[in-house]
Amino acid sequence: MHDPASVGAVTAQTAEFNTPLQFRSGATLDGYRLVFETYGELNASRSNAVLVCHALSGTHHVAGHYEDNPRDIGWWDNMVGPGKPLDTNRFFVVGVNNLGGCHGSTGPSTIDPETGRPFGPRFPVVTVEDWVVSQARLADRLGIEQFAAIIGGSLGGMQALQWSLDFPERVRHVICIAAAPKLTAQNIAFNDVARQAILTDPEFHGGDFYDKSVVPRRGLRLARMLGHITYLSDDSMAEKFGRVLRSGALNFGYDVEFEIESYLRYQGDKFADRFDANTYLLMTKALDYFDPAHSHGGDLSAAFRGATANFLIVAFTSDWRFSPERSEEILKALLDNELDVSYAEFKTVHGHDSFLMTDPHYHELMRAYFQSIEL
């Protein structure tokens, strides 16, 4: 099956770093590895690079497929490819698995060279700021002095924002989709219930489950089921599942009865098969800690004072996890600093997950914005 709008078969690459990385928490890693993929060609003036930052459960595999696994298609394949909104005929696109991840970059399941055992719970609590530093080092390695754009949805959008604060001279356009300037108490509460599901799973073993040949599946499953509910909207669930019963009748028991139960359990199982429990904990903490205004007395406008990038902020009406009002907080801070910013709000039904969906209006705007970027 040949899809001309796909980047086709791709190969993950690895970059090893031997310069110590000091985390915001104070912890240090002497060395680390980042796994990444690239699509398209870096032009001679190195002005066409775009970094794609992933969200909670994303990876470096943004687009295309693997030769040996054609069904493993990148998580943003509808956005990135030849002729797609982020056109790889024009841009050199970089996807990276964040530090602390579980898809090849150094993370909790990596062997700690000091102990000879997996890091497990001893892996440093990683923040959005730490990721941005590690991504900047990868950019150095790839010869990218300045990104044409950095784009991300949700937690990925937060990284794109952080880039504009920490390395203003290294990014010309920031595209921040379905994100928030910080989590609300309700957001943190959802994250903590997810964490508690993992932490209290008897097979979690305080995070040292790797050498016990078990996986805290129940915890991961519950965490994902809960998360998934918050990514969808009430309307999209009603439309997709309603109150449809699997067997067509009530069974007066606790087995799967409603379609939504079946769907959530399937999502939970699928996730538990591929995701690391310690990584999940780390990612949710990175979300909880993100708050660029905090070091400016809670003043988000003050936080953006040093930013110079052009911004595109995108929100979706049905997203109640990071609602349009949260994106408007970011917008307000950018307006206060007289930065070039555009803001679009799309009427979709898919909730927070809308940023991953193929909505024609949304994709047309992304295409137009990328086309407006001069190289």
Q: Render the burial of 327-350: b for 16+ CB within 10 Å, e for the rest.
A: bbebbbbbeebebebebbebebbb
Give the strand pairing for 80-81 and 28-29: unpaired
Shortest distance, CB of residue 371 to other proteins, whole angstroms? Answer: 8
Confirm whether 236 is a catalytic residue.
Answer: no
Measured from the CB atom, the residue of 259 and 345 that comes closer to other proteins is 345
Q: Which residues contact 213 (CB under 8 A, 6 or more apart)?
A: none
- For the CA atoms of 31, 33, 34, 40, the dihedral, rounded to the nearest 10 degrees, stands at 110
Confirm whether 154 is a catalytic residue.
Answer: yes
Shortest distance, CB of residue 43 to other proteins, whole angstroms? Answer: 18
Confirm whether 294 is a catalytic residue.
Answer: no
- Binding site residues, other proteins, CB under 8 A: 328, 331-332, 335-336, 338, 340-346, 361, 364-365, 368-369, 371-372, 374
Shortest distance, CB of residue 361 to other proteins, whole angstroms? Answer: 5
Distance CA 112, CA 227 (A): 30
Shortest distance, CB of residue 239 to other proteins, whole angstroms? Answer: 21
Measured from the CB atom, the residue of 223 and 331 that comes closer to other proteins is 331
For every residue of 197-227, DSSP letters joined together read HHHT-GGGGGG--GGGT---HHHHHHHHHHH
Measured from the CB atom, the residue of 79 and 287 that comes closer to other proteins is 79
The answer to whether the Cα torsion of 69, 70, 72, 76 is positive or negative is positive
From the candidates 65, 201, 352, 354, which is the catalytic residue?
A: 352
Terminal alpha carbon distance of the chain:
33
Q: Which residues contact 99 (CB under 8 A, 6 or more apart)?
A: 21, 29, 32, 34, 105, 106, 107, 126, 130, 131, 134
Shortest distance, CB of residue 5 to other proteins, whole angstroms? Answer: 20
Distance CA 310, CA 283 (A): 27
Measured from the CB atom, the residue of 68 and 338 that comes closer to other proteins is 338
Measured from the CB atom, the residue of 251 and 372 that comes closer to other proteins is 372
From the candidates 276, 319, 353, 359, which is the catalytic residue?
A: 319
From the candidates 47, 134, 154, 327, which is the catalytic residue?
A: 154
Q: Which residues are catalytic?
A: 154, 319, 352
